[in-house]
Amino acid sequence: MVSSSEGFTWTPSGGVRHGLPTIGVVVPPTHSIQPPTETYDAIVIGSGYAGLVASRDLATQGKNHRVGGMNILADQQTGKKTLLIEARDRLGGRTWHSTINGFNYELGGTWIHWHMPHIYREVPLYGLHNDWIVTQNPGGKEDYCTITTGTEQRNISHADEDEIAGRVFQIFCNVDGNNLKETWKYAFGTNQASELMAKWDRLSCQDRLDEIHDQLTTEEVSVLEAQLLQMGGNSLAKMGLLDALRWWSLGSNVPSGLNNIALHTRLRSGNSALHRRIFEHAVSTGNLSYAFETPVQRIQDAGGVVVVTARDGQQWKAKDVICTVPLNVLSDLEFSPPLDADKIEAANEGSVNKCNKVHVDFNGPDYLSWSSVGTPGKGLVAAFGDHLTPADNSHLVAFGPDPESPGGIPLNDTEALKTALVHLLPKEKQNSVIINRIVTHDWNNDEFAKGTWCYLPPSFTTKYLLALQRSHGNVCFASADFSDGWRGWIDGAVQVGMQMAYQVIQKQLKTVVEVKESKLTNGALTNGVLTNGV
Ligand SMILES: Cc1cc2nc3c(=O)[nH]c(=O)nc-3n(C[C@H](O)[C@H](O)[C@H](O)COP(=O)(O)OP(=O)(O)OC[C@H]3O[C@@H](n4cnc5c(N)ncnc54)[C@H](O)[C@@H]3O)c2cc1C
């Protein structure tokens, strides 16, 4: 299998090895359906879920109305002529999996669920509806949760873990006394209780914790902090309250709803398998060109045509561009005309989520069902069993906050990582557990991500969400980072990719109809066919 240059693994015998094997690498990296001087209907920048779905929808759904001196009614084959440009060597952006010794490690976005409607549409569409693995399985020898609070530690049952974690999260999110059941009734709605939303948006997670602190024991505070740090990946003062409330609402306004949806199931064959199917579907239309390993530098909108320039100087033209780069790298692109001031401010402020996500294999099957939470940690605040590897080792996933926040550690310090993992274990087990492998991707030092999933700071949503969603001339923006619904999740990326492709298709259709009507008015259309080009 071909390796991406991204991600790294550590083993006791091999040390650190950079670059991981994945089916997501695109070889050869470029393919062209038309000469580079010809204008595309659309260019999509970025091949994460948003870009892949947008490219697929454009290539399969839109009609290709040729307007440059050609007959617009006689040439309407299905699909827009689309170019997908991606900086990396692989599909998937902040989601991808690497297969090592027969086991799939999801380096970025992982868990998806049928309560996430947009991504779930993709799963059966490509025949993956029986392709699930359930995470957090019962039946392992160490079948309990370890809570570590400073120097205190105890093991509790998973039923008690669910009860405590659900209860403290409910207390935290119950800002209206009714668990948001009325004020945030429609998790995907965008126009409810706007004054209350603005009020809650001004608060940080730390503000809210201070309000409820007296209702919680030290252990409960530790469990809540660990959950919040796992959600927003930064210090609580930098994390806005509103995103936590939105996640509560997306979790059906019940204590364990979010956990049951968001950390439950993943694709057995991995996210990269789904990427490949979406990508190959788009390629099969004959409407998709692509250029991988090609970072975009500049986007110039001259009104009738948008020129996209890569770092290496290559240029392409299109009628419309869908830009899907993450919020935290948007300001690295040059726009002409420049982006509006509010968009620039939003991009500069960005998402605060800088969490570390680490895969670890413990020797042997005993830790399949184990989990752990606790703050302050030694760099990691939570871990849980995911599945057994083919060699019967326990595969776990662990999370820690921003390496630069108090309690964070850098991913390239494997000794610190191992210490942080061992710290989460029951004290009496800490000397006996053998770490066989660590696998991870340093998203914070990844120039095409600069962070992990989106978590917004206080006041950001009220100030900037609509600005980020607004098009800029013939350039529109599609990112999970500022979608509605499951914002910051895979589902949000699919939703917004689909929406923006549809917007472009409708816009181009409207342009064709307007041109046709104007020609009719001017008497230039004969028998339903344009006679003099456009
Ligand atoms: C560690 C981690 C764990 C996560 N866990 C989950 C989870 O379990 N479930 C879930 O639903 N979500 C999860 N998420 C979030 C989810 O992965 C993202 O929200 C989603 O994948 C974002 O998709 P996107 O298409 O909007 O952006 P991206 O996937 O980031 O795609 C944007 C693309 O733009 C490219 N790009 C950037 N700059 C340029 C440039 N200059 N030129 C060309 N291309 C460029 C990037 O390389 C990238 O491929 C997780 C994310 C991370 C990082």
The DSSP line for 386-439 is EEE-TTSPEEEEEEE--TTSTT---TT-HHHHHHHHHHHS-GGGTTT--EEEEE
Instruction: Give yes or no for residue 62 having a pLDDT over 90.
Output: no
Q: In percent, how much of the chain has pLDDT > 90? A: 87
Specify which residues 398 forms β-bridges with. 358, 383
Amino acid 516: pLDDT: 66
Amino acid 377: pLDDT: 87
Residue with the smallest CA separation from ligand 1 atom 33 is 46
The string of pLDDT tens digits covering residues 303-342 is: 889 999 999 999 999 999 999 999 999 999 999 999 999 9
Cα(283) to centroid(ligand 1), Å: 21
Which atom of ligand 1 lies closest to the CA of 296? 42
User: How many residues can be counted in the chain?
Assistant: 534
Whole-model pTM?
Answer: 0.95
Instruction: Give yes or no for residue 529 having a pLDDT over 50.
Output: no
Cα(196) to centroid(ligand 1), Å: 30
Give ligand 1 pocket residues (Cβ under 6 A): 45-51, 85-88, 93-95, 108-112, 295-296, 324-326, 329, 333, 357, 443, 448-449, 452-453, 479-480, 488-491, 493
Which atom of ligand 1 lies closest to the CA of 333? 41
Mean pLDDT in the chain?
93
Amino acid 530: pLDDT: 41
Give the mean model confidence (pLDDT) for residues 121-143. 95
Q: Is 384 helix (H, G, I), strand (E, B) or coil?
A: strand
Q: In percent, how much of the chain has pLDDT > 70? A: 94
Instruction: Please classify residue 155 by burial: count the beta carbons closer than 10 Å to its beta carbon, then call 0-12 exposed, 13-18 middle and 19+ buried.
Output: middle
- Is pLDDT larger for residue 297 or for residue 528? 297
Instruction: Give the confidence band of 151 by pLDDT, cuts at 50, 70, 90.
Output: confident
Nearest-10 Cα torsion for 327, 328, 330, 334:
170
How far does the chain reach from its first CA to its final CA, in angstroms? 49
Distance set, CA 153 to CA 210, 406, 428, 443 (Å): 24, 21, 11, 31
Amino acid 193: pLDDT: 87
Which atom of ligand 1 lies closest to the CA of 332? 41
Among 95, 265, 272, 494, residue to substitute to test ligand 1 (most atoms within 8 Å of Cβ):
95
Amino acid 184: pLDDT: 92
Cα(122) to centroid(ligand 1), Å: 17
Amino acid 65: pLDDT: 57
| Six-digit token string for 229 | 């740090």
Give the mean model confidence (pLDDT) for residues 483-509. 97
Which atom of ligand 1 lies closest to the CA of 483? 26
Provide φ and ψ at 114, rounded to 5°: -70, -10
Cα(480) to centroid(ligand 1), Å: 8
Residue with the smallest CA separation from ligand 1 atom 12 is 489
Cα(93) to centroid(ligand 1), Å: 4
Which DSSP string do the residues of 181-238 spell out, in sequence order?
TTTT--TT-SSSSHHHHHHHHT-BHHHHHHHHGGGS-HHHHHHHHHHHHHHH-S-GGG
Which atom of ligand 1 lies closest to the CA of 50? 25
H or E stretch covering 445: none
Instruction: Give the confidence band of 74 by pLDDT, cuts at 50, 70, 90.
Output: very low
Cα(10) to centroid(ligand 1), Å: 24
Residue 160, C-beta contacts closer than 8 angstroms, at least 6 positions apart: 145
Dist. CA 477–CA 468, nearest whole Å = 7
Residue 280, C-beta contacts closer than 8 angstroms, at least 6 positions apart: none
Query: Are 234 and 206 a contacting pair, CB within 8 Å?
Result: no
Give the mean model confidence (pLDDT) for residues 254-262. 92
| Tally of CA atoms within 13 A in the half-sphere of 86 that contains its CB | 26
Amino acid 191: pLDDT: 84
Cα(110) to centroid(ligand 1), Å: 11
β strands within 217-366, DSSP E:
265-267, 288-291, 296-301, 306-310, 315-323, 334-336, 356-362
Which atom of ligand 1 lies closest to the CA of 266? 8
Long-range contacts of residues 161-167, Cβ cutoff 8 Å, at least 24 apart: 161/371, 161/373, 162/255, 162/256, 162/259, 164/219, 164/220, 164/223, 165/223, 165/227, 165/255, 165/256, 165/259, 165/373, 166/254, 166/255, 166/256, 166/259, 167/220, 167/255
Amino acid 67: pLDDT: 52
Instruction: Give yes or no for residue 78 having a pLDDT over 90.
Output: no
Least confident of 207-216, 293-302, 406-415: 406-415
Which atom of ligand 1 lies closest to the CA of 297? 41
Cα(326) to centroid(ligand 1), Å: 7
Query: Are 504 and 80 a contacting pair, CB within 8 Å?
Result: yes
**Buried b vs exposed e over 330-369: b needs ≥16 C-beta within 10 Å?**
bbebebeeebeeebeebbebbbbbbbbbbbbbbbbbbbbb
Dist. CA 166–CA 493, nearest whole Å = 27
| Six-digit token string for 63 | 């009609």
Which atom of ligand 1 lies closest to the CA of 49? 25
Among 490, 494, 498, residue to substitute to test ligand 1 (most atoms within 8 Å of Cβ):
490
Residue with the smallest CA separation from ligand 1 atom 53 is 452
Cα(30) to centroid(ligand 1), Å: 21
| Six-digit token string for 326 | 């993450």
Instruction: Give yes or no for residue 19 having a pLDDT over 70.
Output: yes
Instruction: Give the confidence band of 510 by pLDDT, cuts at 50, 70, 90.
Output: confident
The string of pLDDT tens digits covering residues 444-474 is: 999 999 999 999 999 999 999 999 999 999 9
Give the mean model confidence (pLDDT) for residues 193-213. 96
Residue with the smallest CA separation from ligand 1 atom 19 is 489
Residue with the smallest CA separation from ligand 1 atom 49 is 93
Cα(271) to centroid(ligand 1), Å: 12
Cα(269) to centroid(ligand 1), Å: 19
Instruction: Give yes or no for residue 63 having a pLDDT over 80.
Output: no
Among 94, 98, 443, residue to substitute to test ligand 1 (most atoms within 8 Å of Cβ):
94
Query: Are 174 and 164 a contacting pair, CB within 8 Å?
Result: no
Amino acid 24: pLDDT: 98
Residue 521, C-beta contacts closer than 8 angstroms, at least 6 positions apart: none
Give the mean model confidence (pLDDT) for residues 251-260. 93
Residue 28, C-beta contacts closer than 8 angstroms, at least 6 positions apart: none
Give the mean model confidence (pLDDT) for residues 111-115. 96
Cα(328) to centroid(ligand 1), Å: 11
Rg (C-alpha) for the chain, rounded Å, is: 24
Amino acid 150: pLDDT: 81
Among 120, 325, 496, residue to substitute to test ligand 1 (most atoms within 8 Å of Cβ):
325
Amino acid 71: pLDDT: 46
Give the mean model confidence (pLDDT) for residues 56-66. 82
Query: Are 413 and 433 a contacting pair, CB within 8 Å?
Result: no
Which DSSP string do the residues of 154-183 spell out, in sequence order?
EEE-HHHHHHHHHHHHHHHH-TTSSTTTTT
Instruction: Give the confidence band of 528 by pLDDT, cuts at 50, 70, 90.
Output: very low
The string of pLDDT tens digits covering residues 337-385 is: 999 999 999 999 999 999 999 999 999 999 999 999 989 889 999 999 9
Cα(48) to centroid(ligand 1), Å: 6
Nearest to 301 by CA among 339, 332, 329: 339
Q: Is 308 helix (H, G, I), strand (E, B) or coil?
A: strand
Residue with the smallest CA separation from ligand 1 atom 5 is 109
Amino acid 531: pLDDT: 37
Amino acid 72: pLDDT: 47
Amino acid 192: pLDDT: 83
Amino acid 325: pLDDT: 98
Residue with the smallest CA separation from ligand 1 atom 31 is 48
User: What single DSSP character describes residue 253?
Assistant: T
